[in-house]
Amino acid sequence: MQFKRAVKTKSLVAERATWESRCGRYRVMQSHIPLAYGVYKGGVHQGYRDTFYALHLAGRWDIISIHRKRQPAERACDAHQTEHS
């Protein structure tokens, strides 16, 4: 499955990047929260780790799975597509 270029959005709380599949039924969304309750390491605020969500459009965006890296989330979308086609 091929994904389009990332669309980046930024709010007061989070920064997001969203990759949508060419067919438009799957998405991988990265959520980055830099200014949240996180770990202090050596006096430096670390924030939360990036989280990648594999999403499927079924009337609304349903979460297929949650990952720490982008490629496993893309593979989850591929696996979901082969299971349900």
Q: What is the pLDDT of residues 10-43, one digit of tens each?
A: 998 889 999 999 999 999 999 988 776 656 666 6
The predicted structure's pLDDT at residue 45:
64
Burial (Cβ within 10 Å: 0-12, 13-18, ≥19) of residue 26? buried
Is residue 73 scored above 70 in pLDDT?
Answer: yes
Mean pLDDT, residues 51-74: 96
Task: State the chain's mean pLDDT as an integer.
Answer: 89
Q: Which range is least confidently modeled, 27-41, 44-58, 70-84?
A: 27-41
